[in-house]
Chain A
Amino acid sequence: MLSPRTPPGVTTESGLPPFAVAPTTIQTDDDAELLSALKQRDERAFVALVERYQRPLLRLALVYCRSLAIAEEIVQDTWLGMIQGIDRFEGRASLKTWLFQILVNRARTRAEREGRDVSFSSLAEGAEAPGEPAVPPERFRPIDDKWPNNWALPPHSWGESADAGLLAGETMDLVKRAIAQLPSAQQQVITLRDIEGWPAEDVCNVLMISETNQRVLLHRARSRVRGALEGHFNDG
């Protein structure tokens, strides 16, 4: 559990259960350890999970509802849902996936009640819908050109200063604004994939979408953010 020397249910040399003598925080990267501690009502495991996932949960909740107060409510509700369901959780999915599924269910219900469309099935948002092209068509040569559909207005390298420029506060604000303008389904995918750095499989499991759908939405979202950055660097 918390350290190899004090597994759950085993008393320490002092004769006290480890809970009584262990430090107030847990250092482990392993959700499975936290899960087993949590099932034994270990508050430190709960706190460790909150510290690990509170911000990512809130970031995703904010995709569904722009109000911070409502997003915080949804996250709070997610934690309550987790502890109430923990004894029935069989660990088929990872703890992380399960936790975020709870959040997504609650956030979608709430958003729908408030009249916001956050689904993946509507024509406007689904991957099946004919999407906006990654690059405006006028940047390519016409079909009757000697080089049809190749660059007419090619992208210019952002240069060696780009890596520093990409870290600048104003650039980060621009990226955030670009994401905020994406359709909800794209926001959900790019937030988990690129901001939180999740693997595709986890994103598919939490959002309950196919890998292809995930990739199409990710492509549209990344292309839009790249376009926003290009405008920024080429104007600046």
Chain B
Amino acid sequence: MTDDTMTMPDLGGLSCKEMVELVTDYLEDALPADMRGRFERHLTACDPCVVYIEQMRQTIAALGRLPEESIPPGDLDALREHFRRWRSTPEA
């Protein structure tokens, strides 16, 4: 929406500033139906907001692919010992 000579398209009555605060509710499918309709009308008319939502999706995808190698697997032997000790004690 950067061309000042254009007439105002139908942005669903939502500004881009409002859109970026609604994006999580939209992706979580938590918007009421009427608001969802307005949100989608805005997207139809506003390319930068489409880019913004795409970036949010890419962010979520990146978070889901964070590698685990930095997390140590834990001391299984020590835990097994605890388990055996617990198993050998009579039930409370």
Contact = CB atoms under 8 A, between A and B. Distances in A.
Interface of A: 41, 43, 46-47, 50-51, 54-55, 58-59, 62, 68, 72, 75-76, 79-80, 83-84, 87, 133-135, 137, 140, 146-152, 154-158, 162-163, 166-167, 171-172, 175-176, 190, 194-195, 197, 200, 211, 215, 218-219, 222-223, 225-226, 229-230
A79 B20 contact: no
Contact residues of A: prevailing secondary structure:
helix
A175 B74 contact: no
B30 A215 contact: yes
Interface in B66-92: 66-68, 71-76, 78-80, 82-84, 86-87, 91-92
A134 B26 CA distance: 14
B80 A229 contact: no
18 contacts: A50-B79, A76-B78, A133-B21, A137-B17, A140-B16, A149-B17, A151-B49, A155-B51, A156-B51, A157-B55, A166-B58, A166-B62, A172-B67, A195-B63, A211-B30, A222-B56, A226-B55, A226-B59
Contact of B64 (A134, A154, A195, A223): A195
Interface of B: 1-2, 4, 8, 11, 15-18, 20-21, 23-25, 28, 30, 46-49, 51-52, 54-56, 58-68, 71-76, 78-80, 82-84, 86-87, 91-92
